[in-house]
Amino acid sequence: MLPTIEWRGEYIRMIDQRKIPAKLEWYICRGYKDVIKAIRVMVIRGAPAIGVAAAMGLALGAKVIRTNSYASFERQFRKMAEEMTRARPTAVNLKWAVDRMGLLVQRMAGVPVDQIKKALLWESEKILAEDIDINRRIGQHGLKLVPKESTILTHCNAGSLATGGYGTALGVIRAAHEAGKKVEVIADETRPWLQGLRLTAFELMQDNIPVTVIADSAAGYLMRQRRIDLVITGADRIAVNGDVANKIGTYQVAVLAKENGIPFYVAAPLSTIDLKIRSGEMIPVEEREGREIYCFGKRQVGPVGVNAFNPAFDITPGKYVKAIITEQGLIRPPYLREIREIFHRK
């Protein structure tokens, strides 16, 4: 796989995920505002990936702040960070990465501005490298949950393209495949943006992992026919009670899995858990433009003037989640206690 996002000296480049698989094109960001735009219009998407992008974007923005005064630098950095945080509301990894960069700036109070700029650059590269490492560890922990021969349903794209690399849900699948297990993937196409059809299928085909795409509405049919052994998805934000915000449709998949006695797992780094959020209802759910529903590209498909409602995420109550697969191992219910414990240990 090509890197989802990377530094190229003076600029950042990322794969333009709006164009996959038709075209493999780089999207170039020369300033932090380019990164904000890239996140907003979904050139790059996926909770961990937009965290990495936000960190890199802030390092990029910091480079051109023209001042030698720490106070002035810090003030300008903070403004930029606030702007970055607002790029998309649901995935907490974005905020987590912004906060981590901000903390570094605060810790370096009084240090010459040039050194802080360099440190921010290194930090953004560290966040990227750590994310890939975390995903590999998620893969190793998740591996145990995958039977030797199994068909795994996944929703949206929680793969290499959604992260620094390797993937969370697809990381588990990759790890199982690399360990010699015979895995097959059923990918929900994931309307309206078709991440499953365009990105997940693309990634898995590159790795020679068998994949079949279905309409989102066929998942239940396959489950009822006992053609799915387990479900693994990623997450955009997890509340301390185990409620999971993820791509719209995840809740439906989880309910159907429960109804059919199929385990439903969420694979995510610990940075996806928001300790400030007690339950899923508190997570802000982004609503995107209706035209994602009634247009295909520039072409109007629905009747002119039709109303559409387009929430980008939904909340899956923790009771439907059999385990959360993290880089530190599995978290199982009761989530409230287990999540507190894991962060206490940290």
Asked if 236 is an active-site residue, the reply is yes
Q: Does 251 sit near its own copies (CB under 8 A)?
A: yes
Residue 308 makes contact with its own copies by CB under 8 A? yes
Judged by CB under 8 A, does residue 111 bind its own copies? Answer: no
Among 310, 328, 329, 342, binds its own copies (CB under 8 A): 310
3-class DSSP state of 233:
strand
> How many residues in total does the chain contain?
346
Find how far residue 229's CA is from the centre of its chain.
24
Q: Which residues contact 196 (CB under 8 A, 6 or more apart)?
A: 154, 155, 156, 157, 187, 188, 189, 190, 213, 216
Q: Cβ-count burial of 136 within 10 angstroms (0-12 exposed, 13-18 middle, 19+ buried)? A: middle
Q: 16, 236, 274, 314: which is the annotated catalytic residue?
A: 236
DSSP structural state of residue 338 = H
> Among the candidate windows 24-32, 36-44, 141-149, 202-210, which touches its own copies by CB under 8 A?
202-210
Contact 85, 36 (CB under 8 A): no
Cis omega (within 30 of 0) for bond into 192: yes
Closest approach of its own copies to the CB of residue 80, in Å? 33
Backbone φ/ψ region at 226: left (φ over 0), alpha (ψ -120 to 50), beta: left
- Is residue 208 close enough to count as binding its own copies by CB under 8 A? no
143 vs 194 by CB, closer to its own copies: 194
Q: Does 293 bind its own copies (CB under 8 A)?
A: yes
Are 264 and 322 in contact by the 8 Å Cβ rule? The answer is: yes
How far apart, in Å, are the Cα atoms of 73 and each of 62, 67, 79, 296?
Answer: 8, 6, 10, 44
The pattern of x and - marking residues 158 through 197 that bind its own copies according to CB under 8 A reads ----------------------------x-xxxxx-x--x
CB 228 → its own copies: shortest distance, Å?
12
- Asked if 220 interacts with its own copies (CB under 8 A), we say yes
| Contact flag: residue 226 with its own copies (CB under 8 A) | no
The residue among 34 and 189 lying less far from its own copies, judged by its C-beta, is 189
Residues forming the active site: 236
Residues in the site for its own copies, rule: CB under 8 A? 21-22, 186, 188-192, 194, 197-198, 201-202, 205, 210-222, 224, 248-249, 251-252, 255-256, 259, 290, 293-294, 296, 300-311, 314-315
